[in-house]
């Protein structure tokens, strides 16, 4: 059919008409809010993250207060990151049953009904800032796996609903699955950071959790941004090892990767709308270069590319009426 028989504007003429033919929708249940909890903050207090305007590091009690408010607005799921008061070369506070994440999980389980995902990694707990065990300034893959298993088990023991390894060590999903199963946590799902690129968009996050490496970088274990086919291999390996959900990180610069994984696999797919994406867009809005409608449009693009779940610092704004 040709114009004038076919007129595409017929289904765009009113807001209600546009709504009934909308192809892609964002619901509160598809959003995951990243939460930073810091040890030794005064009870009930929070401190701003300078590189991420509008975001905070919370004490466990302050986090609970904030999350109860968001839960009333429809928040369903969070992902929890800890900032310890002490660090060492093996990140021992990461698997301490009295650690900041473990204590926060227990508090939130008492005060909310949220699904709690926990980030399983060593970077913010180690004195060197890398995601694994170090020897002669080299990140040791196999030696790290035991520690990741310890972290996952400690989180599950505290009450975590899902564990999410972000370290990018080879074989870590299988190692964590084995550790969980051997300790009676067969029903705890693993959300794997299956496709995590060595991205410059992480810079604000590293300031937020004080996890900048003291030497070198993470390019020997995180993926090269130039590689797309490699993403399929990484995701397939994690699924074979037992990942229940796979993730792409970052999101906006890697929409093509999200789409390719969606087409390749049936496993639920998450995407992380990371700190740099948040800070970049927030700065443009504050300068008046963009309006807040750009937030919804950017999240919509991630959903449209194929993400079932979206981890985003914009979650509170979206819950306040920015779901389109």
Give the pLDDT score at 208. 72
Consult the annotation and say whether 131 binds a ligand.
Answer: yes
Give the pLDDT score at 324. 66
Distance CA 304, CA 320 (A): 21
pLDDT tens profile 277-292: 999 999 999 999 999 9
Residue 313, classed as helix, strand or coil, is coil
Distance CA 269, CA 8 (A): 32
Consult the annotation and say whether 123 binds a ligand.
Answer: yes
Whether 276 and 202 have beta carbons less than 8 Å apart is answered as yes
Mean pLDDT of 74-93: 94
pLDDT tens profile 230-266: 999 999 999 999 999 999 999 999 999 999 999 999 9
In percent, the amount of the chain with pLDDT more than 70 equals 98
In percent, the amount of the chain with pLDDT more than 90 equals 86
Q: How far is CA 105 from CA 66, 97, 118, 178, 302, in A?
A: 14, 11, 9, 22, 29
Give the pLDDT score at 210. 66
Distance CA 112, CA 33 (A): 14
**Among 301, 305, 274, CA closest to 32:** 274
Mean of the per-residue pLDDT values of the chain? 94
Q: Domains of the chain, with CATH numbers?
A: 26-319 (3.20.20.70)
Give the pLDDT score at 45. 97
Whether 276 and 204 have beta carbons less than 8 Å apart is answered as yes
Q: Which residues are catalytic?
A: 196, 249
Consult the annotation and say whether 234 binds a ligand.
Answer: yes
**Among 256, 114, 125, 257, CA closest to 246:** 257
User: Does the pLDDT at position 216 exceed 70?
Assistant: no
């Amino acid at each position: 059919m040709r114009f004038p028989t076919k007129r595409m504007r017929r289904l765009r003429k009113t807001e209600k008409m546009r709504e009934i033919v909308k192809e892609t929708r964002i619901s509160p249940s598809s959003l995951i809010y990243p939460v930073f909890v810091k040890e030794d903050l005064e009870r009930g207090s929070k401190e701003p993250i300078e590189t991420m305007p509008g975001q905070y590091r919370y004490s466990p009690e302050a986090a609970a207060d904030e999350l109860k408010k968001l839960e009333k607005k429809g928040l369903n799921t969070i992902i929890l990151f800890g900032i310890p008061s002490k660090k060492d070369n093996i990140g021992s506070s990461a698997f301490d049953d009295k650690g900041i994440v473990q204590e926060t999980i227990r508090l939130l389980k008492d005060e909310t009904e949220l699904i709690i995902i926990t980030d399983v990694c060593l970077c913010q707990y180690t004195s060197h800032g890398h995601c694994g065990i170090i020897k002669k300034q080299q990140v040791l893959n196999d030696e790290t796996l035991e520690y990741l298993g310890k972290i996952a088990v400690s989180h599950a023991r505290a009450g975590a609903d899902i564990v999410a390894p972000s370290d990018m060590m080879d074989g870590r999903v299988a190692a964590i699955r084995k550790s969980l199963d051997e300790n009676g946590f067969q029903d705890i799902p693993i959300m794997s950071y299956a496709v995590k690129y060595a991205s410059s968009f992480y810079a604000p996050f590293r300031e937020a959790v004080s996890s900048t490496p003291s030497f070198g970088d993470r390019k020997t274990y995180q993926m090269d941004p130039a590689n797309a086919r490699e993403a399929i291999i990484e995701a397939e390996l994690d699924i074979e090892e037992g990942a229940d959900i796979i993730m792409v990180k970052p999101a906006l610069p890697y929409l093509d990767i999200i789409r390719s994984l969606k087409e390749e696999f049936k496993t639920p797919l998450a995407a992380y709308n990371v700190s740099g994406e948040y800070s970049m867009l927030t700065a443009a809005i504050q300068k008046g270069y963009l309006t807040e409608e750009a937030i919804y449009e950017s999240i919509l693009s991630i959903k449209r590319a194929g993400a079932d779940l979206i981890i985003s610092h914009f979650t509170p704004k979206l819950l306040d009426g920015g779901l389109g």
